[in-house]
Amino acid sequence: MKKMILFALLAAPLIGVAADAVSNQAAAPSNAPAAQQDTAERNKMLYSLGFLLGDNLKRQLILDNEDDYKALSQGMRDSLLNKKAQTDLEKYKPQIIQKYQADARTIAAKREAEQQEYLANFQKEKGVKTLDNGAMIKLSKSGKGKNPKADSIVKVHYTGTLIDGTKFDSSRDRGQEFQMRLTDVIPCWTKAVQQMKPGARAQVVCPPDTAYGNRPVGQIPPNSALVFDIELFEIVK
């Protein structure tokens, strides 16, 4: 059982990151010979994969000093090179699980404090309107016409980020406006977009319980406050 728990902690998040890293690689134009270019691109891809794996690990673990990093990287290197482990792995698996669990609680508490501070500071900004479900909206551009209703179909552009600015989605990046019914989106959007008129643009801040709650979604960790830059183009219906 402990072995299965450990595998879930270590492997599952990393597989998703690895898949993203491989699928997002694009070969850059080059005049170098094909073999040389292939080797260089492979090295860049593997470096990028390693960087993403490290980025994922630091979101789950607290490493306090250079010795921590050296010990972790040496263990990963020995495993990848099929070397014999320098420790009794079975002995340390319970401690590894305990560390993951303790670090997860610490990281979650820190994120919660940072989010509460962000929400409180945003709420104090001039022009911010707090809606009855806790979502907040600040118009940067007024629109004209009628406001959409709770079941309207609308067409928008949006960019979504975490409070630290990490972008997790953007219709602008895809170059395609997003059309949806307001009953089919997160509660934050259902309420906030009703405050906008065609042509309006707004910053919308969603507390976790108006977004995805305790469900992880893609790059969005559980219990995340979300920030959206939304432009309303059209009320389709």
Residues annotated as catalytic are 158, 168-169, 186, 212, 228
From CA 141, how far away is CA 20, in angstroms rounded? 35
Task: For residue 197, give both structure tokens.
Answer: 């008129």
Residue with tokens 């977004």: 211
Type of residue found at 107 = I
Contact 213, 145 (CB under 8 A): no
Residue from 98, 191, 198, 182 nearest 147 by CA: 198
- Strands annotated E in the chain: 128-130, 136-141, 153-162, 167-170, 178-181, 201-206, 226-235
